[in-house]
C-alpha cells in the first residue's frame, strides 16, 4: 500500500503499480460484448474531467478537473470524493492529465504558465513551471516510481518533453537537439490523457494537427525516433487524439476531427510492429471522431473500446470492425478488468459494465 492519502469525502489509498497485460497467447476466448450498462457515480454540470487513472491492484482511482480540483474513486463501493481546488496565486489550473507514484500524485496544467504540481497528503507544491507563451502540456506518465515523462505542444521546433529521474521532485526539458524536429503546425491534443503509451522501457507519443506522427523511445526517453502514420491530418483539428498499446508490438490510435465528429475516413489506425508502420482500419465506417481508445485487459489484443462525446464503441477484432454500444458521451475511459471500466467527461464520472 502506498503512503499517499487523498483527504476527500472518502479516504482513499492508491497503488501506482501498473498491471501488466497478460500474455497475448494465453487468453481463453470469450463471447463478444453486446451492451454496456452505465451507472453515474458523480454528476455536476460544472464538472469537466479528462484526466482519470485506475489502479487495479488497490481497486482505487484518481481524477482531476478543468477547474483545478482532484479527487478519488473507491472502486469497491463506487464512492467518489473531490478535494479542495488547487490555486497558484490567482490562477485556477486546468488539469487534463495526471499520474501517481509512491511519491505522490502529479498534476500538470494546460496553457501558459504550464505548471506541474505534486500532491502529497493534503499538501501540494510546484515541481516544474514553464512560462513560455506557447507552453501547453497534454499528457503525463511514469515508467516507474523514479522516472516519468510529460509531453506538450512545441515551444520551439520540437514537441515539448520534460523528464524526471528523481521521483518527480525535479523535471528537465529535453533540448530540441535531442528530439525529432516537429513539422510546422504539429502539436497534440489534451483530450483524454492518452497521448503517451508505455510498455516496459518503451514509449510511444502521439502527435496531431498539421502532422500526426508517432515519436518512439526504446530507452525511457534517452533516444528518439519518429514514424509517419496514415491517420487523417493536415488541419489544426485533425490527427491522433488517443493512443494505447496492448504490448510492445500491438498498438491502436484513434482520433479524426472533433469539429466534424461524424467523419469516418482514416481516423482509426493499428500497428503490429511496435509503431513502425500503421494501417487504416474500418475506413469509412463508424465510429467517427473519438477522444480515447483503450484495449480491454486480457483480450489477446483483440478487444478495444473507444469513447467520445458522440458515444461508446466496441471492437472484438482489433479494430477491423466496430459496434456502437451507446450514445452516452465521455472524454476518457480506463478499465478495471475485462468487463468493468470507469469513464469521465462533461458533467459526470460513471461506472461502465460491459456485457
Q: Are 257 and 241 in contact (CB under 8 A)?
A: no
Read off φ and ψ for residue 58, nearest 5 degrees. Answer: -105, 0
Q: What is the structure's pLDDT at 83?
A: 84
CB 129 within 8 A of CB 80: no
Indicate whether 27 belongs to any domain.
no
204 located within any domain: yes
- Comparing CA positions, the residue from 186, 31, 190, 201 lying closest to residue 107 is 190
Q: Is residue 14 part of a domain?
A: no
Whole-model pTM: value is 0.92
Whether residue 13 lies inside any domain: the answer is no
102 within some domain: yes
- Domain assignment present for 240: yes
Tell me the C-alpha distance between 131 and 149, whole Å.
19
Q: Residue 133 belongs to what domain range?
A: 37-354
Contact 62, 14 (CB under 8 A): yes
Q: Is residue 345 part of a domain?
A: yes
pLDDT per position in the chain (355 positions), as tens?
343 434 443 334 333 344 334 444 444 567 899 999 999 999 999 899 999 999 888 889 999 999 999 999 999 999 999 988 998 888 999 999 999 898 889 999 999 999 999 998 678 999 999 999 999 999 999 999 999 999 999 999 999 999 999 999 999 999 999 999 999 999 999 999 999 999 999 999 999 999 999 999 999 999 999 999 999 999 999 999 999 999 999 999 999 999 999 999 999 999 999 999 999 999 999 999 999 999 999 999 999 999 999 999 999 999 999 999 999 999 999 999 999 999 999 999 999 999 9
The dihedral through the CA atoms of 211, 335, 320, 289 has a sign that is negative
Is residue 15 in a domain?
A: no
Work out the burial of residue 40: count CB atoms within 10 Å of its CB; fewer than 13 is exposed, 13-18 middle, 19 or more buried. Answer: exposed
Identify whether the C-beta of residue 281 lies closer than 8 Å to the C-beta of residue 265: no
pLDDT at 68: 95
Provide the number of structural domains found in the chain. 1
| CATH number of the domain residue 46 falls in | 2.130.10.10
**pLDDT tens-place string over residues 73-127:** 999 999 999 988 998 888 999 999 999 898 889 999 999 999 999 998 678 999 9
Amino acid at each position: 500500500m502506498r503512503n499517499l492519502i487523498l483527504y476527500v469525502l472518502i479516504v482513499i489509498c492508491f497503488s501506482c503499480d501498473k498491471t501488466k497485460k497478460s500474455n497475448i497467447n494465453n487468453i481463453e476466448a470469450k463471447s463478444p460484448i453486446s451492451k454496456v450498462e452505465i451507472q453515474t457515480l458523480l454528476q455536476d454540470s460544472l464538472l469537466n474531467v479528462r484526466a482519470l487513472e485506475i489502479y487495479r491492484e488497490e481497486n482505487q482511482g484518481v481524477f482531476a478537473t478543468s477547474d483545478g480540483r482532484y479527487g478519488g474513486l473507491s472502486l469497491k463501493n463506487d464512492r467518489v470524493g473531490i478535494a479542495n481546488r488547487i490555486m497558484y496565486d490567482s490562477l485556477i489550473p486546468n488539469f487534463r492529465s495526471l499520474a501517481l507514484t509512491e511519491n505522490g500524485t502529479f498534476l500538470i496544467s494546460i496553457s501558459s504558465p504550464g505548471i506541474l504540481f505534486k500532491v502529497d497528503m493534503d499538501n501540494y507544491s510546484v515541481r516544474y513551471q514553464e512560462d513560455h507563451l506557447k507552453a501547453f502540456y497534454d499528457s503525463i506518465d511514469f515508467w516507474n516510481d523514479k522516472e516519468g515523462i510529460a509531453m506538450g505542444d512545441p515551444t520551439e521546433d520540437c514537441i515539448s518533453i520534460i523528464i524526471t529521474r528523481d521521483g518527480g521532485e525535479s523535471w528537465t526539458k529535453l533540448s530540441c537537439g535531442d528530439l525529432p524536429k516537429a513539422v510546422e503546425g504539429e502539436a497534440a491534443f489534451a483530450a483524454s490523457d492518452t497521448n503517451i503509451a508505455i510498455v516496459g522501457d518503451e514509449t510511444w507519443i502521439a502527435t496531431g494537427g498539421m502532422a500526426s506522427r508517432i515519436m518512439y523511445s526504446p530507452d525511457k526517453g534517452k533516444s528518439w525516433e519518429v514514424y509517419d502514420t496514415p491517420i487523417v491530418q493536415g488541419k489544426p483539428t485533425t490527427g491522433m487524439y488517443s493512443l494505447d498499446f496492448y504490448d510492445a508490438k500491438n498498438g491502436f490510435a484513434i482520433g479524426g476531427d472533433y469539429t466534424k465528429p461524424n467523419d469516418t475516413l482514416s481516423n482509426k489506425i493499428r500497428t503490429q510492429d511496435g509503431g513502425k508502420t500503421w494501417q487504416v482500419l474500418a475506413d469509412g465506417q463508424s465510429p467517427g471522431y473519438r477522444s480515447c481508445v483503450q484495449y480491454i485487459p486480457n483480450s489477446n489484443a483483440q478487444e478495444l473500446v473507444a469513447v467520445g462525446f458522440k458515444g461508446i464503441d466496441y471492437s472484438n477484432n482489433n479494430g477491423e470492425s466496430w459496434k456502437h454500444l451507446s450514445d452516452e458521451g465521455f472524454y476518457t475511459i480506463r478499465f478495471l478488468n475485462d468487463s468493468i471500466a470507469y469513464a469521465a467527461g462533461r458533467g459526470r464520472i460513471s461506472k461502465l459494465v460491459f456485457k
